[in-house]
Amino acid sequence: MRKAAVETGVSLLVTLISIFGFLEALSYAGEGGLMPRVVMALAILLSAIWAVQSARTVLAGSGEVIAPNAQQLRSAAMLIVAGIALLLGIRHVGFYTSAAVIVPLLGYGLGYRNLRGLAIGTVLFLILLIAVFRLLLAVPLPPEAILTLIGL
């Protein structure tokens, strides 16, 4: 299969997801909604450019042929499953709890075996999430199931 054909499909999917993200960001009130709207608009623009470039390559009949190996397919499937798990986890368990579980599991599943590095990376990622959503955007997120369970 041609790399450009795969890239065309993926870029169109990313464009569609970015459009949905932009529409969701329109519902954010006040100044907190500005950054997500700008980021999503930029994502739409860049993925649309990517789609046009890839489509041109497909129409020209050029581009390299790719044959993904089993490890690459496993990694891609793992990323898709992790994304779905994160979406479901955010809804049912909580945003931060889901990230705290899925990020290190995904890193380990993709072959990173330094447990200290996984722990440090996860903590830094959670600090970044908290800083962005609570401090910068001031977006209220659904309560964490664990915190609700213990009465916090």
Residue at token pair 């054909």: 5
Contact (Cβ atoms closer than 8 angstroms) between residue 103 and residue 115: no
Calculate ∠ Cα 129-103-7, nearest 5°.
95
| pTM assigned to the model | 0.67
pLDDT digits (tens, 9 = 90+) for 32-88: 778 889 999 999 999 999 999 999 999 998 888 888 889 989 999 999 999 999 888
pLDDT digits (tens, 9 = 90+) for 120-135: 999 999 889 888 877 7
pLDDT digits (tens, 9 = 90+) for 96-149: 889 899 999 999 999 999 999 999 999 999 889 888 877 777 777 777 777 677
Name the pLDDT band for 1 (thresholds 50, 70, 90). confident
